A and B are shown apart, each in its own frame.
Chain A
Amino acid sequence: MRYVLKRVRRLVVVIFAVTLFTFLLVNVLPGDVAYDIAGQDASEEEVQAIRADLGLDRPVMVRYVEWLGDFVQGDWGRSFRTDEPVVEAILSRFPVSLELMLVAQVFALILAVPFGIIAAYRAGRTTDRAIATAGFMSLSIPSFMAAILLILIVSLNLGWLPTSEYEPLSEGLWANLRAFILPALAIAMAEWVILMRVLRADMIGVLQQDYISLARAKGLPVWHVILRHALKPASFSMITVLGLQIGNLVGGSIIIESIFALPGVGRLLINAIYARDFIVVQGVVVFIAFAYVMVNFIVDLLYAVLDPRIRTERADG
């Protein structure tokens, strides 16, 4: 309990600091919002009018407190380009980002588990080194580059998955999923390596345990022993990393969403940046930070549930 309270307190401080930081950055630094809204040929009076209208002529801290009050109540302002309420804009796009991340994680797992097992089983041999090398190269491909290569090879040269528009789930599962395959693969290209390495390291340790030798000595086939006896204890760290990686995926999926024209939160952010739509940017940044912190918080708690040692150790630290 003490552990949970400590984590919650920290969570609140971090989120508060993020809102303050984002607000100050967007509001105090150069490039006054009013000039952007008014456009290039606006007169000074028009700019002043907009500024008064938005309340920009008052002290920053007063505005921050007001903004935070509205923010907590779910009023995140409106886009001054499209007039769409920011909360709705984010919430309507969030499922797309979530689906992209889930599909990407599934792909990463599909690659990581078999290769991790094989690498651990053949640790130090040629197969292991080949997998390590492939992983190293895979990690050196930036996700946007992977995206371009996938489009070029899979859709243009092989013609397997013509680059398709995003379809909502109501249009059928396959129509919906096929738009996610290439983007999720582009993200998974780097993710699987990290998972594979963690699994391999743990698997090597587990395979040296006595009960594995016993199972083998009983005459159970190798793959049975690995899949039924070794995989579960060896995948503990990998699952933790899987959770923590979700946070990193948030950043990575921003570019991927805009390359594949998926209407997710990342694309909303990029488009808002191109349009210099400060209010949307501000909302999305706080939302992403919030989601990111929450995910890490939950993973941390789950970890403590699974491994009781952490509850006592970390409560002191």
Chain B
Amino acid sequence: MADPTTNRPLDPVRPTLSRFRRMRPTTGKSGQFGIAFWLPLAWLVLISFTAIFAPWIGIQDPDSLDFINLQTPPNDAHLLGTDHLGRDVLARVIYGARVSLVVGFCAPVVGMLLGLPIGMIAGYFGGRIDGFIVGAIDTFLAVPGLVLLLLFSLIFGGSLLVVTVSLGLLFIPIFSRISRAATLSFKSSEFILAARTIGANDFNILVRELLPNVVLPVLAFGLVAVAGAIVVEGALSFLGLSVPAPHPSWGGMIAGGREHLEESPHISIFPAIVMFLTVLSFNLVGDTLRSRFADVREAAI
């Protein structure tokens, strides 16, 4: 017996993706993504593109000071105006996107790489191992995330690496919870039993049978996590505890314009708008994908 489309032998042990297709829930009409998906996606592509190619798209140097044009409102030479040191706000917003996007993408990846195996092991083996892992996560959650981040920044200093890794650590609990819940929901399925019957060991079952099923809900949560990471990085750089000062970052720019809110609100407002749109876009795109691909999350938290 062979699968007619791929001509490969049908593998009864791995009906992985098809399980999810059946679970797909309700939102949206027959698989169409609406404007609430494409518009934010377009914004994210635009932001990512300008951030990656920032040095080559003809914007000004984000660090060059212009003492003749301090705090000028938006004009032809400076599309979004200049800040209190005469630096071009547009250029700084674009270069600031680099920090937000790097932290935004890398921190959830760190959390996922560590949280996914932890959650799968807890869910799969159950018993004492599960009890220990759940207890450890509870303890970890006893300190509010931001407090922990402040503690890390105090001890290790503020740098892109420290912020990314410590924020990534904060994502371990949520990712391990999601993957634990997903593992639990698949653990007693027939295809696991079948794999065990043909002699697969625990490692094989975890990696080859469970992982493809668990990874979907985890990835679906990923984009929402990116939004969260960008917000927290923004908060840290707002407090001056993320990347060091002259380096542009959205939070830092919003904080820098605080002193001049009354006479030149544009210094704070433009980075705030860009950050808001970016966070909103990640939330919208992430939410659409999540409701499309996974609702195991609610099952066992």
Binding site for B on A (CB under 8 A): 10, 13-15, 17-18, 21-22, 25-26, 29-31, 136-137, 139-145, 148-149, 151-152, 156, 247-248, 250-252, 254-255, 258-259, 269-270, 273, 276, 278, 281, 285, 288-289, 292-293
List 11 other contacts, CB 8 Å, given A31-B155, A250-B147: A17-B142, A136-B287, A139-B283, A144-B238, A151-B261, A255-B235, A273-B153, A276-B154, A288-B143, A289-B144, A292-B142
Chain B contact residues: helix, strand, loop or mixed: helix
| Residues of chain A with a CB closer than 8 A to B89's CB | none
7 contacts between A and B (CB under 8 A): A145-B254, A145-B275, A148-B268, A251-B145, A276-B154, A278-B154, A289-B144
Which of B138, B144, B151, B153 makes the CB contact (< 8 A) with A250? Answer: B144
Question: Are B227 and A142 neighbours in the complex by a CB distance under 8 Å?
Answer: no
Q: How far is the CA of A106 from the CA of B185 in the complex (A)?
A: 39
Known: A10-B138, A18-B142. A30 touches B155 (CB 8 A): yes
Rounded to whole Å, the gap between the CB of A265 and the closest CB of chain B is: 10
| Residues of chain B with a CB closer than 8 A to A247's CB | 144
Question: Are B144 and A142 neighbours in the complex by a CB distance under 8 Å?
Answer: no
Question: Are A156 and B251 neighbours in the complex by a CB distance under 8 Å?
Answer: no
- Size category, B interface: 35 or more
Q: Mark B134-157, 1 if CB is under 8 A from A, else 0.
A: 010011001111110011011110
Rounded to whole Å, the gap between the CB of B143 and the closest CB of chain A is: 5
B262 interfacial by beta-carbon distance below 8 Å: yes
| Residues of chain B with a CB closer than 8 A to A29's CB | 155-156
Q: How far is the CA of A17 from the CA of B154 in the complex (A)?
A: 20
| Residues of chain A with a CB closer than 8 A to B154's CB | 31, 273, 276, 278, 281
Question: Are B144 and A251 neighbours in the complex by a CB distance under 8 Å?
Answer: yes
Chain A contact residues: helix, strand, loop or mixed: helix
Q: Mark B230-248, 1 if CB is under 8 A from A, else 0.
A: 0100110011010000000
Question: Are B272 and A149 neighbours in the complex by a CB distance under 8 Å?
Answer: yes
In the complex, the chain B residue whose C-beta lies closest to that of A139 is B283
B125 interfacial by beta-carbon distance below 8 Å: no
| Residues of chain B with a CB closer than 8 A to A278's CB | 154
Rounded to whole Å, the gap between the CB of A297 and the closest CB of chain B is: 10
In the complex, the chain B residue whose C-beta lies closest to that of A248 is B144
Question: Are B275 and A142 neighbours in the complex by a CB distance under 8 Å?
Answer: yes
Rounded to whole Å, the gap between the CB of A136 and the closest CB of chain B is: 7
